[in-house]
Structure formats: structure tokens, C-alpha cells
């Protein structure tokens, strides 16, 4: 008797903590300044899904995935306004 066995295994691995680039200045940001921010999350299975929030509200849900380097990347351009 010939027996064929098939096995499927899925693993879930959390990504590293996200890193935000573009905030490399000290002190408050002046009104009218345009910030170009990049959020990068490395690794994980599955890769991270990214979104930006401001005061608890989602302001962007677009991101791209680089499967070769195993990174999720999101860009945000934001003009600083008084609250």
C-alpha cells in the first residue's frame, strides 16, 4: 500500500519595531514646515501593514512591500499647522 502525505505549515513571526525617518531635528517643528516622513518595518511573516494616525484618526493607509529585503515602507508628506 502506497501512502502519500501532504503537510502545510504556516508560521507567524512579528516584525521588528517600526522606525520613522525624517524626524532628525531637535525641538519643536515650526508652523508651515513640510515634513517628509518614512516608516520602515523590517521582517515578520507576514510583513507588517502600516498606517499613519494623527490625534487618533487614520490619515494614510498606503504602504509598499519590498519582498526581497523583507520590509514594509510607508511615506507621508505633512505640513505642520497650528492646532
Distance, in Å, from the CA atom of 32 to the CA atom of 34, rounded to the nearest integer, reads 6
Give CA 48 to chain center in angstroms: 6
Q: In this structure, what C-alpha cell is assigned to residue 59? A: 490619515
The tens digit of pLDDT for each residue in 30-46 reads 899 999 999 999 999 99
| pLDDT reported for residue 42 | 96
Read off the pLDDT of each residue in 5-21 and give the average, rounded to a whole number: 86
Residue 50, number of CB atoms within 10 A of its CB: 21
Percent of the chain with pLDDT over 70: 98
Distance, in Å, from the CA atom of 40 to the CA atom of 73, rounded to the nearest integer, reads 5
| Confidence bin at 6 (pLDDT 50/70/90) | confident
Where are the domains positioned within the chain?
Answer: 32-79
The reported pTM is 0.77
Nearest to 74 by CA among 46, 53, 45: 53
Indicate whether 23 pLDDT > 90: no
Amino acid at each position: 500500500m502506497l501512502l502519500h502525505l501532504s503537510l502545510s505549515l504556516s508560521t507567524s513571526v512579528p516584525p521588528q519595531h517600526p522606525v520613522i525617518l525624517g524626524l532628525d531635528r531637535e525641538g519643536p517643528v515650526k508652523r508651515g514646515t513640510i515634513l517628509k516622513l518614512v516608516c520602515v518595518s523590517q521582517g515578520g511573516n507576514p510583513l507588517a501593514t502600516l498606517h499613519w494616525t494623527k490625534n487618533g484618526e487614520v490619515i494614510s493607509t498606503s504602504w509598499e512591500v519590498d519582498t526581497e529585503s523583507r520590509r514594509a515602507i510607508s511615506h507621508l508628506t505633512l505640513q505642520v499647522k497650528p492646532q
